[in-house]
A and B are shown apart, each in its own frame.
Chain A
Amino acid sequence: MSLVQRALSGDYPRSRVLAVALLLILVGLALAPFVFPGTRSLNVAAKVCVFILLVASYDLLLGYTGIVSFAHTMFFGIGAYGIAIAATKLGPTWGSLALGCVAALLCSVVLSLVIGLLSLRVKTIFFAMITLAVASFFSILASQLSDFTGGEDGLTFKLPVSLAPGTKLLETAVFGVEINGKVLSYYIVFFGALFLFLALLRIVNSPFGRVLQAIRENDFRAEAIGYRGVVYRSVANCLSALAATAAGILYAIWLRYAGPDTTLSLDIMIDILLMVVIGGMGTMYGAAIGATLFIIAQNYLQDLMKLGTDAAAGIPLLPNLIHPDRWLLWLGILFILSVYYFPTGIVGRLRGVK
């Protein structure tokens, strides 16, 4: 039990339903290659892992520090492009992957520090505008430097042989599933995301995290106790950018591709915002719940609606309303309802906080 306490940094779910949901997500993701072996479902599982980390790192900013940033996908993209460019230019070796990782993380630290120190001193709305501008600039840069980044098409690249889907790692299949490079990649993504999620949980429950919460609640009062808001906000911004970069690295390893639409786009930024809000801001666990629900809905709502249309055939109007083509409409309605009924997010609701 003390192992669980240490892993969660003493921050328990504090709700039985939430604990069960989190356990289901953890077990489901841990066994995904065996329980959901299809290509599509494994893709969804990997995306859930990556987005749990990405959304949790955004929660560190939005939920714990009260900073609104629109540059989170930029750091996500830096991670993905770091791996992609290193693998394309230097060849598919472990060494080039490591180099790509280090370069991407360094780049993110420098960028987030510069953005933070330039704008976190003043009003947070100014920070939001700056990040929006820098993120747009970065996204244009990525599509313009096509020799380097592959432009709009992005970069498809090869990974070291042991991560290639065709590589058999074990002679015998485990539970009827062949252990190949794809399964190994999945577990790199899974354990990487899990480890970093727990690290973020530790950060928000540390004395540093407590100061962040105090600053979010009342900047002046925190300063009057002797904490410099700008320093704490800058460090939080940096840590959050690093975690987002790591998420980008994992995503690129999984997809063997980096492109503007999968990492840099503003659509993803909005998705992240929605996931944080739906899951529950300032809880970390909300990131896990929000990301999982959102991505599953994004991928399977259409299938569900197709089933509904077929079942409702013959009834007037209804099949039309739940036609798979209308899935975005229904996803939108689901968001509005969840924000309306769970203003503190699903986690806030489950913990009984109004």
Chain B
Amino acid sequence: MRHAHSGPLKQAGEGALLALTGVNTHIGHYHILQGVDFAVAQGGFTMLLGRNGAGKTTCLRTIMGMWRASAGRIIFDGADIAGEETPAVARRGIGYVPEAMGIFAGLSVAENLTLAARDGPIDTSRLEWIFGFFPALKKFWNLPAGNLSGGQKQMLAVARAIIEPRKLLLIDEPTKGLAPAIIGHMIEAFRELKRTDTTILLVEQNFNFARALGDTVAVMDSGRIIHTGAMADLAGDPGLQQQLLGLSLDAHQ
């Protein structure tokens, strides 16, 4: 196994928008995060990979303040946000896309987005920009979000996080349960988003999706970061993939 914390992101803080140092999280009797250290570079697209149960989702939720870190520091934009409540974290400029298409099913598409634009009315030019890569949202504007298909719900969940410019996006498994064609569509949408220099931390199981978008990568296992580095390096090294992720790529085609 590779040494922990190897690679270019070792110096947490330097040019980083988000840096976690020694973060521990307990959920009930379970010790889920056992000293997580990694950083997300300003303007970069960071992939957080790892096996099921490695602690990736818990990591995002801890950053959002949904689980309280029992130890460690979470520095975002120069301030320690560990211990802050979720709404306060969100209002610092972090957009969060929860797993499993976390939209408000009882509200319409329009209401979902209006709700997320908490600083006032929706910026129409930004909305048109979003419609450009998620046209379904325009088509079903006044429909209850619960009536959308899985892919459309996921588009709405992403659109909700970007309806206003945010400093950082935390995205939890956007491809989960989606058909391959829709995953291709998602990749295009995220490429478009990448051009705006939005900083993104994305949790993913689908390695092809991660490879297509990520600049840098952090791999988790058993509540710790076991590898950080450039995405291209990991993508070009099947042996390392096998070792870190234990994945047979065929299963993820």
Interface set of A (CB-CB < 8 Å, partner B): 207, 210-211, 213-214, 217-218, 220-228
Contacts and interface: CB of A to CB of B under 8 A. Distances in A.
B58 interface: no
B102 A225 contact: no
Contact of B106 (A207, A213, A228): A213
A2 B96 CA distance: 39
Contacts of A228: 85, 87
B87 A226 contact: yes
A218 B160 CA distance: 15
B107 A221 contact: no
A12 B115 CA distance: 21
Nearest to A226: B90
Contact of A210 (B66, B91, B115): B115
A7 to B, nearest CB: 21
B81 interface: no
Interface of B: 64, 66, 85-87, 90-91, 96, 98, 102-107, 111, 114-116, 118, 160
A228 B86 CA distance: 8
B152 to A, nearest CB: 17
B13 to A, nearest CB: 25
Given A225-B116, A228-B85, A210 B90 contact: no
The winner among B98, B115, B160 for most chain A CB atoms within 10 A is B115
B160 A214 contact: no
Contacts, number: 54
A225 B114 contact: no
Given A210-B111, A210-B114, A221 B90 contact: no
Given A218-B104, A220-B66, A224-B98, A211 B86 contact: no
Nearest to B103: A221
Contacts of A222: 104, 115
Given A217-B107, A226-B90, 11 more contacts: A207-B114, A210-B107, A210-B115, A213-B107, A213-B111, A214-B104, A214-B107, A218-B102, A220-B98, A224-B90, A227-B118
Contact of A224 (B96, B105, B111, B114): B96
A225 B106 contact: no
A98 B119 CA distance: 39
A71 to B, nearest CB: 26
A223 B104 contact: no
A217 B106 contact: yes
Going nearest first, the 5 A-B pairs with the smallest beta carbon separation are A226-B90, A223-B86, A224-B96, A226-B91, A228-B87
Contacts of A221: 98, 102-104
7 contacts: A211-B115, A213-B106, A220-B86, A222-B115, A224-B90, A225-B118, A227-B118
A221 B114 CA distance: 14
Contacts of A220: 66, 86, 98
A121 to B, nearest CB: 11
A214 B64 contact: no
A226 B66 CA distance: 12
Contacts of B87: 223, 226-228
A222 B115 CA distance: 9
B115 A217 contact: no
A217 B105 contact: yes
A214 B115 contact: yes
Contacts of B118: 225-227
A167 B126 CA distance: 65
Given A214-B104, A217-B106, A228-B85, A223 B115 contact: no
A228 B73 CA distance: 23
A37 B87 CA distance: 55
A224 B66 contact: yes
Nearest to B118: A226
A15 B69 CA distance: 50
Nearest to B102: A221
B103 to A, nearest CB: 8
A223 B67 CA distance: 13
Nearest to B121: A207
B143 to A, nearest CB: 13
A39 B104 CA distance: 49
A218, A224, A226: most-surrounded residue (chain B CB, <10 A): A224
Which interface residue of B86, B98, B114, B116 has the most chain A CB atoms within 10 A? Answer: B86
B37 to A, nearest CB: 24
Nearest to A216: B106
B115 A224 contact: no
A225 B90 contact: yes
A222 B116 CA distance: 9
A224 B118 CA distance: 12
A48 B118 CA distance: 39
Contacts of B160: 225
A302 B85 CA distance: 56
B96 to A, nearest CB: 4
